[in-house]
Structure 1
């Protein structure tokens, strides 16, 4: 049962990744707006930029990991198809 629950939190394809990145971007822009309100001027703008920049970094990492997991799965599939004596 825990394994089924755990599978809900695994990103399986690029569409799911983009949806998660979109949700992260919405949250970071909302947080950035709070920073602009609390810290008017240049400091607030820098904090806003930092929150949105973090989403870019996280999104790139998520997409890279999905690509890597796909390549590893393909290699494992190829390895299991070949016989050890070949």
Structure 2
């Protein structure tokens, strides 16, 4: 039963990955907007850039891991 529930939290397709990255981006932009409001000027803009940059890094890592896991599954099926 726990395995079935655990499978719900595994990213299986690129579409699911895109949905997760979109959710990360929405949250990061909300946080970045709060930073700009709280820290006007260059500091707030730099924090906004850090928020958006973290989404790019996380998205790239998610896609790389997904590609690796799919290649591993194909290799296992070939054996």
Shorter chain as denominator, the TM-score bin is over 0.9
Matches within 5 A, 1:1-86: 1-79=1-79
**Structure 1 spans left out of the alignment, 5+ residues:** 80-86
Which runs of at least 4 in structure 1 moved beyond 6 Å after TM superposition?
A: none
TM-score using structure 2 length: 0.98
Q: Distance in 2 between matches of 1:68 and 1:43?
A: 37
Q: How many residues align?
A: 79
Taking structure 1 as the reference length, what is the TM-score of the superposition? 0.90
For 2:5 and 2:52, locate their aligned partners in 1 and report how far apart those are by CA, in whole Å: 30
CA RMSD of aligned residues (A): 0.4
3-state SS, counterpart of residue 26 of structure 1: helix
